[in-house]
Amino acid sequence: MSLSEAELRAALPCALHAVDLPDLGPKRQGKVREIYEQGDRLFLIATDRISAFDRVLGVI
């Protein structure tokens, strides 16, 4: 199943552009992951950001 261009454009305002969960501790941000550190525990949040050659190609 694929989305039409009109369906994709209609969904863009609902896209999550950032993750901010300060209760999980200090945040480190990579190209495609957010990493929170809470004592001896790490919380990894994988995103659907796509990057190549240090450039973000798109956010959906």
Summarize pLDDT for 17-47 with one digit per residue, the tens. Answer: 778 899 999 999 887 788 999 999 999 988 7
d(CA 38, CA 57): 31
Of how many residues is the chain composed?
A: 60
Return the domain boundaries, the chain. Answer: 15-58
d(CA 10, CA 31): 26
Q: Answer with the residue of higher pLDDT: 27 or 57.
A: 27
Answer whether 59's CB lies under 8 Å from 49's CB: yes
SS3 47: coil
pLDDT of residue 55: 59
Instruction: Name the pTM for this structure.
Output: 0.56
Looking up tokens 């990057």, which residue turns up? Answer: 51
**Tokens representing residue 45 in the block:** 């949040």
